[in-house]
Amino acid sequence: DAGVIQSPRHEVTEMGQEVTLRCKPISGHDYLFWYRQTMMRGLELLIYFNNNVPIDDSGMPEDRFSAKMPNASFSTLKIQPSEPRDSAVYFCASSRRGQGAYEQYFGPGTRLTVT
């Protein structure tokens, strides 16, 4: 399996622009997670989905952030409008369903820089 795929790997944009990050989870995984990692705040859960349905979005920082999962093999995280404080590495992760299958498999991340 190719693992979790994220694109783009790097994104540089100007403040106020819209940013869309993409994720393809591992085939057969029912859970998808979006995280943000910064030096100051570490790795934070933003939102997660089960069977394409958002379960918990309490970590989404503001209304500027939105996430969708239109099907089992694709998810997007959108920031509109972007701000310099959104600069971070954004990770997508997936995990299987089933009792005890709690480990998460992370993608390589998207490094976002907002100038």
Partner 1 sequence: SQKIEQNSEALNIQEGKTATLTCNYTNYSPAYLQWYRQDPGRGPVFLLLIRENEKEKRKERLKVTFDTTLKQSLFHITASQPADSATYLCALDGTGRRALTFGSGTRLQVQP
Query: Which residues contact partner 1 (rule: CB under 8 A)?
Result: 4, 31, 33, 42-45, 48, 50, 55-56, 91, 93, 95, 102-109
Helix (H) or strand (E) holding 11: strand 10-13
What's at 108, amino acid-wise? Answer: P
Quick one: 52 or 81, whose CB is closer to partner 1? 52
Q: For residue 108, is the peptide bond before it cis, meaning its omega torsion is within 30 degrees of 0?
A: no
- The strand order across the sheet containing 74-79 reads 5-7, 19-24, 74-79, 65-71
Q: What CA–CA distances, in Å, run from 114 to 11, 26, 37, 43, 69?
A: 8, 29, 15, 19, 24
Quick one: 22 or 81, whose CB is closer to partner 1? 22
Nearest distance, CB of residue 56 and partner 1, angstroms = 5
Nearest distance, CB of residue 102 and partner 1, angstroms = 6
Nearest distance, CB of residue 15 and partner 1, angstroms = 25
Quick one: 40 or 70, whose CB is closer to partner 1? 40
Nearest distance, CB of residue 35 and partner 1, angstroms = 8
- Of 90, 110, 94, give the one whose Cα is nearest residue 29: 94
Quick one: 39 or 71, whose CB is closer to partner 1? 39
